[in-house]
Structure 1
Amino acid sequence: MTADPTSPQPPAHEPTASEPTASAPAWAERDFTHRELPGGLIMRRARTSDVTAIRRLVQPMVDARILVAKEAVNYFEGLHEFRLVTDPHADGGERVVGCAALHVLWEDLAEARTVATDPDYRGRGVGRMLMEQLLADAQAIGVQRVFCLTFETRFFTSLGFEQITGTPVSPEVYVELLHSHDENVAEFLDLARVKPNTLGNTRMMKHL
């Protein structure tokens, strides 16, 4: 049976889900939803079923007062901000071994938050790969500066972050940010009410 020459013909080549089309912006190639990493690890966006694993991963850092405790509902509300690194198992399961979230604060400003790596996987570049992806995500959506509050100053310095003092926004934006109920915004503004939770942390910024 021959094909009907009058019927619509499929294109000679259709791009796969991971292949950007010719009209896609340049940054689309870096906006990975599922990315293979060295050592058999995978980077992907978080799903609702990952919240329990994310909370388990960050709990030791919460206990050590490195990260501020959050309720489960806060993780669900901000789930779209998370990138994860997972270690797939032969049986089809996986282990969440790293996480990081990018939270937009203002038109040109975002925060890298909840950056955590499983102790068994430290030294394999998990945190660096997550942060590099978050910085690419920030550029993709038009963010020009990324803030973090951290004990790991050497790590963030290696990524181009620098320590800041004061609040590097205009007085008008400062007033707008005061309306936020997000505790991390209060940390960015260096408000006195969050000082007990951030003692010893360093406020750092990277210009993209």
Structure 2
Amino acid sequence: MAPEPGPRTTGAGPTGGLVVRRARTNDIRAIRDLVRPHAESRVLVSKDAVTYYEAVQQFRVAEVGDGSPLLGCGALHVMWEDLAEIRTLAVSPAAKGRGVGSQLLEALMADARELGVQRLFCLTFEVDFFTRHGFETIEGQAVEPEVYAELVRSYDEGVAEFLDLERVKPNTLGNTRMLLTL
């Protein structure tokens, strides 16, 4: 088994000294604080604290140095053998436009490659951002019928969004379903 990748640090530039690392349980309150304004404006889905704790191993966070306020967060949720979703990608208003979201996304993409995932899904209002990173808008189903039949059994709302199930449409109107092949 390959060793666990460590934090990724950037040098000089708009995000100089930025560290992207795996989230820890003591980051959950800060992650919720980062997500809260996006959830209130219905850009991101609101989640209970327990959901974040259950998924802490899926998250990466960005900070300038250990102990500094978090500048961003994002999660990689595996959905199937070759498919994962980029979830809860959020950047603090103070860090917008400084490359934090891009660095988080790159780290999550590296995690996906390490896991053997070949395709990444996202449901987003930030179409231009994800397009710059190679994602393309999808229509209809992006999986084979037998995989669809298995995925439809999932209780996970993200899977329902990926499958474009009618029951999630009132919660996701205006979002765009996008996919990237790694």
Shorter chain as denominator, the TM-score bin is: over 0.9
Which range is displaced more, 31-40 or 135-144?
A: 31-40
How much does 1:35 deviate?
A: 2.3
User: Which secondary structure state, in structure 1, belongs to the residue aligned with residue 74 of structure 2?
Assistant: strand
Equivalences for residues 8-27 of structure 1 within 5 A: none
Retained in 1: the 8 A contact 2:120–2:180? yes
Matched, 1:79 2:56: yes
Amino acid at match of 2:102: R
1:45 match: 22
1:20 match: none
Matched, 1:182 2:159: no
Q: Matched residues in 2 for 1:198 and 1:128: separation?
A: 23
Retained in 1: the 8 A contact 2:20–2:107? no
Q: Matched residues in 1 for 2:142 and 2:20: separation?
A: 32
Runs of 4+ in 1 over 6 A off after TM superposition: none
2:121 match: 147
User: Which secondary structure state, in structure 2, belongs to the residue aligned with residue 95 of structure 1?
Assistant: coil
Match of 1:123 among 97, 102, 107: 97
How much does 1:42 deviate?
A: 1.4
- Structure 2 unmatched runs, 5+: none
User: Which secondary structure state, in structure 1, belongs to the residue aligned with residue 62 of structure 2?
Assistant: strand
- Structure 1 unmatched runs, 5+: 1-23
Equivalences for residues 24-173 of structure 1 within 5 A: 32-38=5-11, 39-88=16-65, 93-173=67-147
Instruction: State the number of aligned residues.
Output: 178
TM-score, with normalisation over the residues of structure 2?
Answer: 0.93
Amino acid at match of 2:93: P
TM-score, with normalisation over the residues of structure 1?
Answer: 0.82
User: Which secondary structure state, in structure 2, belongs to the residue aligned with residue 101 of structure 1?
Assistant: strand
Amino acid at match of 1:59: R
Retained in 1: the 8 A contact 2:76–2:87? yes
Which range is displaced more, 35-44 or 191-200?
A: 35-44
RMSD of the TM alignment (CA)?
1.4
User: Which secondary structure state, in structure 2, belongs to the residue aligned with residue 168 of structure 1?
Assistant: coil
